[in-house]
Amino acid sequence: MEIIERTIKSEKVYSGKILSVKLSTVELPDQKYSKREIVLHDNAVAVVAIHDDKILLVKQYRISVDKIIYEVPAGMIEHDENPKDAALRELEEETGYRAKNIEYLTEFYSTPGFCTEKLSIFYAKDLEFVGQNLDEGENLEVVEMPLEETMSMIESGEIMDGKTISSILFYDKFSRGK
């Protein structure tokens, strides 16, 4: 049996600063119909940055979950910007560190059940502090943490951000020491 859904019609029902939402009517493989709500979100980057054998994390309050959480430096790719340049820019803006070496690790969809966002993950090393340049309204604290402590925080559930967990585990499994 074919598993593809065919879009019959689609309309944008919301347009905001960083995302839009469209409501689509789809025909299912069994020829029945259903509705799909899709969040249209620009692609983004995340960076596993290593400084003095420690991972740089940002600690910030996220109103959507009403918690202070730990995340790897990350942000959206700007129009006409390539992912590598976005990763370098976000790392510097959020942490104040400029990377002399940055490598592409992987990419994945953050939540493909309802969102178009694709994340490109990078590994940065040989960092030089040049000064933080946060976006307006951005409030965060930079934390340097040994990989082992970061892994313990993932295991205990203290780190709950999906991109951070995926990025660090991917780095540890496939890139560390290469």
Structure tokens at 154: 């993932």
Among residues 5, 27, 93, 136, the one annotated as catalytic is 136
Distance CA 98, CA 102 (A): 10
Is residue 172 a contact partner of residue 151, using CB atoms and an 8 Å limit?
A: yes
User: Residue written as tokens 């910007």?
Assistant: 81
Quick one: which of 127, 125, 126, 113 has its CA closest to 162? 113
How far apart (Å, rounded) are the C-alpha atoms in residues 88 and 45? 9
75: Cα within 13 Å, side-chain hemisphere: 22
Q: Is 136 a catalytic residue?
A: yes
H-helix segments, 25-173: 83-95, 147-156, 162-170
Active site residues: 136
